[in-house]
Structure 1
């Protein structure tokens, strides 16, 4: 993403990052389907998934719009898009571009969707503005963004708290607001979206569930940012990761993910 309009995206390429995003997407799939049901996405729609990473929700949109519809996944990461293209359906195409300033023409889509981009890359007003530009008059802009305050484990553990603190501070240093879910509804209304909906949800996991490892995996993807900012030394990080994982793998431990706020509304009709 261009640094003149978007924030610095602090998550780094490492072995396992695509798999981390895939597991995260699977965990969110049922709630995303519920949002798409509420919006009414159906056959023949033209849909855009901004910041789709290695696939995003393009497969969900593809199944809904059918052969008469069109789905575009847009991301600034060529490696992610290579992975997505290897698994794409016939009605899906992928575009390498900045989610904050794509060259796609105005009013091209019935639905423009953004998930976990505004809260991690910054400047949400600019992102929402461009999403609205890309949606047709009366079309839908849908956002899904996090509130990290609910990322927690029970019983609590020091290593988990250390990693959570480092994660939050690493995003903040990069200019991101990973608690943006709290103000997302207001941002959508201020941008000029009409009939704005608000649907937050919170997921929980047992020790055996793949997403129970979310915090350690995400911290590993932020290792460089954490180290450069002096938030934790390499040895401190390794110790916290090991301790956190031991606790999360205990059959008596459960955890909660960040709260996700789903916000969607329609663009003005001139």
Structure 2
């Protein structure tokens, strides 16, 4: 891989004093040059679709895609057009592999992931990149949490960032490297989660409709959610809907009744009640707090 023509980013230019993790969220454009870096980078496509140029490869990228890029990888995201209808929005989490190596002395980081993240010993070797898809919504929650903590910098945020990065690494190890039966024991449930996240904005979406789409019984669906998530289907659906509404409150200027509708709630009063129960604040209070932070 030819890297001499690319910009090389240094992690020291990104990290604040006493921090070991950098997180940002950006709508990609054609202005950013293709670049390499001396750090590990994890990308999550939060919105839209576009292309990810990695080395000599051009990869389609869309909402829910997760990319793990080791040290030395050259890449850049591009939207589908100069003024796309759907901009591609990316969360980036970066850190130096030495940070993870130090953590591994006291934290049981999976060895296969640790070896993958280690600094390349051969400068002429081509680093490999990995990709997975967020079918469950777990990556979305982790990245929104990482970004929120990094931006707000409330008391204890550095410890929380480290904890969330460890959780992110564990999830990546499970999806990228696991070969046992446990990770593939029920692809039908993965499909259930994918459908819930895609259809949660439909106010009439129910357990019956999910069961009908998959040609199984509603009782079977309920048992699967209790087994794998520890909650009922309705609780999981409500959590996904409230998570969507939180994102819309943070990132848009839409009126709250419209956000309620986009999140699957036709009754604004009911939406206010469940939102406060789940988050501890009203939608208006939540929006003000996150705009101030």
The TM-score normalised by the length of structure 1 is: 0.25
Q: Which has the higher strand share?
A: 1
